[in-house]
A and B are shown apart, each in its own frame.
Chain A
């Protein structure tokens, strides 16, 4: 046998060197960039692009199907001199302010109740979420029927209880129409507050309350001096989300009143929709929408600064 034939080749296992691209990912900065990329792309496509497009539209005289020319701030000048826009601004602040106060108070009350032990706790918690789970348009249509000028079940009930003698014109009277949409928003928003605050309450150690009780604190004092300060950061986040959503609300008003009667219940979003989509003046519609932005931006800044302060403390 020839020597050459009997030679056995020995192989030493050497792991393959990582490809340059993978090696790049070992650098945390690049890894972070790659991981963040999908989010950045999504935000750019669905938030930044429409936002920039909105800004561009608002400084032109574009109409539907017509690109338009640059007109500077003419659209903003026009809307600030528009009575319906001013009504919409007032309505939006009123709607957001009143609903947020009620949603917070009722949500907190519900959360405290749900945080106790009682039979059927799980069922009750699930049940309370219903208004939040049902698609808004669907539940708002149900409310529209309940407030119907002719066939309102609420009127029927109040009439048969002897509380009213005639019909209440829920959606036909400007003030009652505003109250009606506020009621629906509160009804829909309370579960979000309740469940979020309940989650916050459950992170608070019961020992703190027990210790306060041993020290002689009454239930109200225990809530005010122990529970509330610990719940505050969660509350601020919940309020922040709620204010943003309520300020830009569209569905409830669109379905219930369409901004009527005679433009009395328009919010920023519904008025922007009427002008931009209904009348086809996209540029003015965009200007109305953008007028919301500084207010929302300010709200977000104030609340985020507050949350940071609470966290540092």
Chain B
């Protein structure tokens, strides 16, 4: 039996204050963690294997290492915001909450500063991508800790595009519209949501707007000038593009509909994370093409085409906040620190098979990106994306309000439903002005 001398005890105590060395010295978890239960709220991952990995391997390991209990709860992605709003208002709820895109900005007064962990991760992993800071920092501090980026690329059917004379994916909107017209004539339209859903709708409508030269606000952060010729043109183009080339049911789609439609082979292309391809890899015998080939051999990924003002992208961004009401803030921070070490984050990243791109540059070197060429475009997703509120450097509260009110998406959806382009853009101008001025 180890004899506890006064000197040993003091040594252990000092080490405890220093961190892990202390834990090892006395063989016990940190003092904060004794009996603490951390409630972690996340979305139902589009790659279910990752949730399984968390539940069965990573979190039990974290519980052992940190001496805490972890209660992982997963919900539909669109339900995360209602949960955090009610939790903050009632002053009780999960200790760690996942949020999408710039949603943390809405709750900036009610979450704790995570700059220390963010600084450590950034330093250890060659820095965060710019879009992380724009979404997760409020100008002074990190209000949420970047978790991952789900790259938005167009998944398309290579053989069907070949059939209509487009062996390479169209690189401009005009070309995409022409190809889409031919595909729809063959009963294989493009599938795109313009509904109220967190991922695929804004990651399409925002870059589309930017590529025509439109922005929700000017660089001064106050002037709204969306009601201009370029944007009206973009809306007119979209209306015709929709009718000629798209599955018109897309107005009512959420983030799951296009996955189902693509996998059941009713659409030829859709903007998405790589979840469609990953699902077709997971069940290769379930998804067979009309020629008898495995569907996964016929899927390719491409970025959104260029518009008159250039080529843009917006990716769905994931981060975690710790609400100020949490009584387990230290334990929650310890868990985030633990999961964001390279050794612990890597198994989760690998289980995503490229669906999720990590938020730091370091992971671009990971061998996973060399394993499957179809997934390679996602490697640098983090470098290319802009954030809502572009061209502002930080996607602040106002941009978050615009995003959660779906104003940009609705501008196009209204026109597609029959409103004139001029009216739709004027409506958007009025709505944006109410927010920015």
Query: A-side interface residues toward B, CB under 8 Å?
Result: 63-66, 78, 83, 148-151, 167, 169-174, 177, 257-264, 273-282
Contacts and interface: CB of A to CB of B under 8 A. Distances in A.
Contact of B196 (A63, A148, A260, A280): A260
A150 B260 CA distance: 9
B251 A262 contact: yes
Contacts of B110: 64-66
A151 B78 CA distance: 22
B405 interface: yes
B86 interface: yes
A211 B168 CA distance: 85
Interface residues of B, number: 40
Contacts of B401: 279, 281
A261 B247 contact: no
Nearest to B81: A278
B201 to A, nearest CB: 10
B297 interface: no
B106 A261 contact: no
Interface stretch (B132-140, B175-183, B409-417): B409-417
Chain B CB within 10 Å, residue with most, of A65, A257, A277, A279: A65
A173 B418 CA distance: 10
B162 interface: no
A64 B106 contact: yes
Given A279-B106, A280-B106, A150 B249 contact: yes
Interface string B396-421: 00001100110001100110010000
Contacts of A151: 260, 264
B291 to A, nearest CB: 22
Contact of A65 (B107, B257, B404, B427): B107
Contacts, number: 106
Contact of A261 (B85, B107, B109, B413): B413
B346 interface: no
A172 B264 contact: no
A260 B413 contact: yes
A181 B197 CA distance: 19
Contact of B405 (A172, A257, A279): A279
B417 A64 contact: no
Contacts of B303: none
B195 A258 contact: yes
Given A279-B405, A280-B106, A64 B88 contact: yes
B74 interface: no
The prevalent SS among residues of A at the interface is: loop
A262 B194 contact: yes
A262 B252 contact: no
Contacts of A276: 85
B250 A262 contact: no
Given A65-B89, A279-B405, A281-B401, A149 B414 contact: no
Nearest to A279: B404
B89 A172 contact: no
Contacts of A259: 196
A177 B252 contact: yes
A172 B251 contact: yes
B165 interface: no
A278 B79 CA distance: 9
A261 B249 contact: no
Contacts of A65: 88-89, 107, 109-110
A83 B419 CA distance: 14
Contacts of B413: 260-262
B266 A150 contact: yes
A174 B417 contact: yes
10 contacts: A65-B109, A150-B261, A167-B249, A172-B250, A260-B195, A260-B196, A260-B413, A274-B404, A277-B81, A280-B85
A95 B209 CA distance: 34
A149 B247 contact: yes
A278 B82 CA distance: 6
Nearest to B248: A169
Given A64-B85, A64-B106, A169-B251, A149 B417 contact: no
Nearest to B430: A83
Contact of B89 (A64, A150, A263): A64
Contacts of A264: 417
A158 B415 CA distance: 29
B43 interface: no
B414 A262 contact: yes
Given A64-B85, A277-B82, A261 B251 contact: yes
B287 interface: no
A277 B249 contact: no
Given A258-B196, A261-B417, A169 B405 contact: no
A74 B107 CA distance: 23
A63 B248 CA distance: 36
B310 to A, nearest CB: 27
Contacts of A280: 85, 106-107, 404
Interface string B194-222: 11110000000000000000000000000
Given A64-B110, A149-B257, A261-B417, A278 B194 contact: no
Nearest to B103: A280
A263 B194 CA distance: 11
